[in-house]
Structure 1
Amino acid sequence: MGTAERSGLWIDEPARRRRMPDPVRTSAVRAVLIVALTLVQAMIAVLCTLADSWLAFPMVLSSVGSTVVATWGVLDVWVTRQVWNQRHGVVSVPASTARQLRKERRQARRAARSRRGVARPDSVNIRRRGRAGQLTHS
């Protein structure tokens, strides 16, 4: 027995990117099929034009219509992806510069608090109602 038989025929590796959501994948497949058919149709229109066939004019007209449909298909993928992201949320990783700025601000606040000494009592930290600029019933 060789090493290939003992270890298997292949080694599974983790995916580099997450799988596309089903609605996005469906619209992407639809768009690829529409674009492929449009390209075939355009090629037939060109060949019919070169051959001086009577079919050239109808094929050119239908190619223009197919181009509009193909554009719609590609935009459908983009819109479906945006809608899915908006409804299901996206894991957002802040940029390293934003993370660094937040860390520096946090450290500055802690340093300022430690310089002041004892923390203020809880009663001072409670927000008062009825300050200027707020609507109240009092």
Structure 2
Amino acid sequence: MEGDGVRRHGHVPGENRAATKQPDTRGECGECDAFMDTGRQPLWQEEPAERTRMPDPVRTAAVRAVIIVALTLIQAMVAFLCTLAGSWYAFPAVLCTVASTVVATWGVLDVWVTRQVWIQRHGVRSQPSSTARELRRERRR
């Protein structure tokens, strides 16, 4: 990606400098100048997240579950296609798909259990009048 304007000049092609109030640091190539002087709006705008980020253990379990489910779906597709083709591999593939379905179910349940355990250990997200916050204050004293 040698011709990428981001790497050489530190800005995104198509970014409006007047809107972002960044100093003019144009490169020597003139490649980015054609994008910068158009006055167009940026392709996307950063918006604050409405929801808070998932806790790390829950996110780890969720990523693991997504990977396992994706692999199970691929394995099921292979088993289905092998069955249609009449391949010898169809029977072992179906058996492995059944086992993978059990593992995928465990992975999805693991996300739910990990989330519940995290909420129990760290408390709920509290509002200023919440009893959970008052209990934490008392524990700190």
Residues 16-39 of structure 1: per-residue CA shift (max 9 Å, x gap) = 100000000000000000000000
Q: Distance in 2 between matches of 1:91 and 1:36?
A: 31
Question: What's the counterpart of residue 123 of structure 2?
Answer: 89
Question: What's the counterpart of residue 13 of structure 1?
Answer: 47
Q: Which runs of 5+ in 1 are unaligned?
A: 94-138
Which stretch has the larger CA shift, 18-27 or 6-15? 6-15
Which stretch has the larger CA shift, 9-18 or 70-79? 9-18
Question: What's the counterpart of residue 47 of structure 1?
Answer: 81
Larger radius of gyration: 1
> Which structure would you say has the larger RCO, counting Cα contacts within 8 Å and 6 or more residues apart?
1
Does 1:38 find its partner at 2:72? yes
Q: Which has the higher helix share?
A: 1
In structure 1, what residue type is equivalent to 2:104? A
Does 1:56 find its partner at 2:56? no
Task: Mark the CA change 1:3 to 1:46 in structure 2 (over 3 Å): closer, same or farther.
Answer: closer
Q: Distance in 2 between matches of 1:73 and 1:50?
A: 29
> Where do residues 1-138 of structure 1 align in structure 2 (5 Å cutoff)?
4-8=16-20, 9=42, 11-92=45-126
In structure 2, what residue type is equivalent to 1:56? A
Number of residues of Structure 1 aligned to a counterpart in Structure 2: 92
Question: What's the counterpart of residue 129 of structure 1?
Answer: none
In structure 2, what residue type is equivalent to 1:41? Q
In structure 1, what residue type is equivalent to 2:16? A
1:4, distance to aligned residue in structure 2 (A) = 1.9
With structure 1 as the length reference, what TM-score do the two structures score? 0.62
Please, what is the CA RMSD of the aligned residues? 1.9
Q: Which runs of 5+ in 2 are unaligned?
A: 1-13, 21-41, 128-141
Runs of 4 or more, structure 1, over 4 Å off, are none
Question: What's the counterpart of residue 114 of structure 1?
Answer: none
